[in-house]
Amino acid sequence: MKTSARNQFAGPVAAIKEGVVDTEVTLQLAPDLQLVAIVTRESAENLGLTLGQDVLAFVKASSILLMAGEESRISARNRFTGTVTKLHTGPVNAEVTLTMPGGRHVITAVVTDDSVKRLGLETGQALTAVFKASSVFLASID
C-alpha cells in the first residue's frame, strides 16, 4: 500500500471506546507513546477493529500543529514531544520533522515559513507536535 500521508504509524489497538456515531481507537506505538483516533462507528466496524489488532494510522503533515515552549491547554488529544531533526524552509511553507525519544517515531509538519520564524525554530530544539484525533486515518492490516 502506498499513501501520500507523511506521517505513518503502526501499532496494536490498546483501547476501543464506542459511541453512537463515532468510535475512539487508541494505538500503542511504544511503551510510553499512544495515538488516539476518532473514526465513525461504521468505519470501525468495517475495519473489524479488535483489541490487540495491528493497525496503521496516517496523519497528513498539514494537520500537524507545532507548540514551542511551555505546554498550553489545548483540546487536541495527540501531543508528541520530540526534537527538531530536519527543517526545510521555503518562501511560503516549511517542512519541520521531529524525532521522538528513542528515534523510532518521527512526525513531519508543514507550516508557514512565517510560523517557523515566529516560533524561532531550529534544528535540535524541543518541540511538541499536536493533532486532533479526528485527523487520523486508520487502515487494518489483513
CATH code, domain carrying 53 = 2.40.50.100
91 lies in the same domain as 114: yes
29 lies in the same domain as 72: no
* Sites in the chain below the pLDDT cut of 70: 71
- Any domain includes 120: yes
Which pTM does this prediction carry? 0.91
Give me the number of domains the chain comprises.
2
Q: What is the pLDDT of residue 59?
A: 97
What is the CB neighbour count within 10 angstroms for residue 82?
20
Q: How far is CA 11 from CA 28, 75, 115, 118, in A?
A: 6, 24, 32, 35
Q: What is the pLDDT of residue 71?
A: 66
- Any domain includes 1: no
